[in-house]
Amino acid sequence: MILECPECRTRYLVPDSAVGVTGRTVRCANCRHSWFQEGAALPPLPLSGTTTPTAPDALSGTTKGFAPAGYAPSPTIDPTPTDEASYDAFAHRPPFRPRRNMARVRTIASIAAGLIMLALVGVILWTTAPGLAQQAGFNIGPAQSPLRIVDNPIERRQMTNGSELFAVSGRITNPSSASQRVPDLRADLRDERGRVVFSWTITPQQRTLPANGAIDFNSAQVDVPPSSKRLDLTFVGEAS
C-alpha cells in the first residue's frame, strides 16, 4: 500500500502487513510527523468454484500459497511504525509550538498592569489633583509668579447709611525681563488668631504685564466682620 505523510506529502510504499487490518500509528522518516494510518481493505473472496492464482516466489521458484496481488513486501519499509509503548502524543513535534509558561506570562502581565496604573496615577496627580499630591509629599503645585504686590494701603470709613466701607489699593509690578500673565488677586481678612473671617477676589485691570511694568489695582467691600485685623493679598493659585 502507498502511505502519504499529511505534513510533508512524502510517499512511501509499504506492505499491507506492516500496517495491518486494524491500522496503527506510523511516523514519517522525513519530517518525523506521526499519524494513525487506517488498515488496507481486504480483497473480496473468490467466487465458488474458482481458484486464486498463486504468485511465484522470486527466490525459490515455488509458490507461497494464496496471497492477493499487491501484498508483496517492498525492498524498503518506510515509514517505520512507531513503538506504541514509547509513543507520546503530547511530545513536541512540528508543527506544534512549544508550550507557554503560563506562570511567567501572568507575572509579566501583572508587572505591565502595575506600571500602567502607576503612570495613570502620576498623570492624575500632576494634572487634576495637586492638593492630593502635596499631601503625599509631592511639590507639583503651580510655579510661583515673579510678580510682586506693593503699596497696599487699607482704608476703613463709616458711610452715611451706617455701613462700614473697607477699601484696599496697591500696585502689581513685574521685575522680570519677560512679559507675565497677571492672575486674580485673593484678599483674605484674618482675626487676631490668624483665622480667615472674610475673603474676596480682585480682578486686575489687564491680564498681561510687560517686563519691568506695573499696574494699579483697587477694591472695596462693605459690612466686613469687625473682628478682621489683618489683610493678606496673594495671587490666585499661589499658597497663602
Cell 499696574, residue located: 215
Overall average pLDDT of the 46-59 stretch: 49
Q: Worst-scoring range by mean pLDDT, 56-70, 98-112, 163-177?
A: 56-70
The pLDDT value given to residue 238: 64
| Number of other CB atoms surrounding residue 16 within 10 Å | 18
Overall average pLDDT of the 132-161 stretch: 70
Q: How confident is the model at residue 181 (pLDDT cuts 50, 70, 90)?
A: very high
Indicate whether 27 pLDDT > 80.
Answer: yes
DSSP state string for 154-213: EEEEE-TTSPEEEEEEEEEE--SSS-EE---EEEEEE-TTS-EEEEEEE--S-SEE-TT-
Which residues are CB-contacts of 234 (< 8 A; sequence separation ≥ 6)? 185, 186, 188, 240
Which residues are CB-contacts of 164 (< 8 A; sequence separation ≥ 6)? 156, 157, 158, 222, 223, 224, 226
Q: Which helix (H) or strand (E) covers residue 219, if one does?
A: strand 214-222
Indicate whether 54 pLDDT > 90.
Answer: no
Residues making up the chain, counted from first to last: 240
Model-wide pTM > 0.75:
no
User: Count of H helices and E strands in the chain?
Assistant: 3, 13
> In percent, how much of the chain has pLDDT > 70?
66
**Cα–Cα distance, 43 to 38 (Å, whole number):** 15
Indicate whether 141 pLDDT > 60.
Answer: no
φ/ψ of residue 44, rounded to 5: -65, 145
pLDDT digits (tens, 9 = 90+) for 30-39: 898 898 888 8
Which has the higher per-residue pLDDT, 109 or 3?
109
The pLDDT value given to residue 99: 64
Q: What are the cell numbers at 162?
A: 451706617
**Cα–Cα distance, 47 to 165 (Å, whole number):** 132
Q: Worst-scoring range by mean pLDDT, 15-24, 41-50, 63-72, 222-231?
A: 63-72
Which residues are CB-contacts of 132 (< 8 A; sequence separation ≥ 6)? 125
Indicate whether 60 pLDDT > 60.
Answer: no
The pLDDT value given to residue 74: 40
Which has the higher per-residue pLDDT, 175 or 46?
175
Overall average pLDDT of the 41-49 stretch: 63
Q: Which of 42, 72, 75 is nearest to 55 (CA)?
A: 72
Query: Under a CB-based contact definition with an 8 Å cutoff, are residues 33 and 94 in contact?
Result: yes
